[in-house]
Amino acid sequence: MDIIKTGNLKKSYMLGKVEVKALNGVDVSIQKGEFVAIMGPSGCGKSTFLNMVGMLDIPTSGEIYVEGNDVTGMSSNKRAEYRLRHIGFIFQFFNLFNELTAIENIMFPMMLNRMPNYRKNAQELLNLVGLGDRIHHLPSELSGGQQQRVTIARSLANSPKILLADEPTGNLDTKSSKEIIELFRKLNLERGQTIVMVTHSQEIGEKADRIIHFRDGIIEK
């Protein structure tokens, strides 16, 4: 079953008076439980695609279906609600809430979703990513790899259908990168988590089930 399907997806920006076509008709289908890597050179539209699928941005034209539902016409509030319940984000620069501790960062989306037992669940997620002993640490007190693991735990807070990771290892050393990819693999295998990951690294990309190559806003192969 397609969990994500896009049809002739286009996105263009105005850079001054010049129109930049970030996506120029992308058709992608991703199956439920798939671990997909999106690769390509800088500026090819990888992150733009991820933002569209994650409903952070609105396409210029085309369709996006998540679990068979057309999500392109959703209002801002509906998109926010959809992100909260069904999509988990992992960013290159971790993007944790600096004023919240590790456990609070994970609790926060659960609280927004009015989940019961959010503290207990957040603790379990921290244990899952191997940071059970760092619950009260602020992001500034954690290493890059640890911060990214907290981000992964946060992205899993509301048991999302899709995990979207934009260069999740781009800011990490080799050892931490390896740990993060192993964690992704574990989530994919043990929980059947659908993961769409943008990466520059061929080595990281090869850990996924499938690689989609982007070039100049279209799928190359």
Partner 1 sequence: MSAVLFYARKDSEKNKRMFVFIIIAIALSTANIIIINGFMDGITDDFVEKTMETSSGHLNIYPDEQNRYIEGLGVKEQKLDTFDNVIAYSPRINAGGALSYKDKSKSIRILAVDPIKENRVTNILGKIDSGETLDVNDRNGVLISYRLADELKARVGDETVLVFEKGNTKVFRIKGIFRSGMALDTNTVILDFESAAEQLNLSNKASVILVRLSDIALTGQYKDTISRELGAIKVKEWKQEVESILSSTATFKEISSAINAIGLFASAVSVGVILYINILHRRRQIGIMKAVGMKDFQILSVYIIEAMIMGTIGIIAGDMLGYLGTKYLEAHPFSDPILGSLSPRFYTYILYDASLVTMATVILASTYPALMAGRMNIIKAIWE
Residues that bind partner 1 (CB under 8 A): 51, 54, 56-57, 76-77, 80-85, 89, 91, 95-100, 104, 108-109, 111-113, 154, 158
Yes or no: say if 109 and 157 are a contact pair by the CB < 8 Å rule: yes
Return d(Cα 1, Cα 117) in angstroms, integer. Answer: 32
Return d(Cα 130, Cα 128) in angstroms, integer. Answer: 5
**What phi-psi label fits residue 9: left (phi over 0), alpha (psi between -120 and 50 degrees) or beta?**
beta
> Closest distance between partner 1 and the C-beta of residue 84, in Å?
2
The amino acid present at 219, given as its one-letter code, is I
Sign, CA torsion 189/167/36/9: positive
> Closest distance between partner 1 and the C-beta of residue 6, in Å?
18
Yes or no: say if 162 and 86 are a contact pair by the CB < 8 Å rule: yes
> Closest distance between partner 1 and the C-beta of residue 140, in Å?
11
> Closest distance between partner 1 and the C-beta of residue 2, in Å?
23
Q: What does residue 43 show for φ and ψ, rounded to 5 degrees?
A: 80, 10
Using CA atoms, how far residue 106 sits from 78, 96, 115, 129, 184, in Å, is 22, 9, 12, 12, 17
Return d(Cα 12, Cα 68) in angstroms, integer. Answer: 25
Nearer to partner 1, 121 or 207 (CB): 121
> Closest distance between partner 1 and the C-beta of residue 138, in Å?
10
> Closest distance between partner 1 and the C-beta of residue 79, in Å?
9
Nearer to partner 1, 100 or 218 (CB): 100
Nearer to partner 1, 81 or 209 (CB): 81
Nearer to partner 1, 5 or 86 (CB): 86
Nearer to partner 1, 84 or 135 (CB): 84
Nearer to partner 1, 76 or 174 (CB): 76
> What's the Rg (C-alpha) of the chain?
17
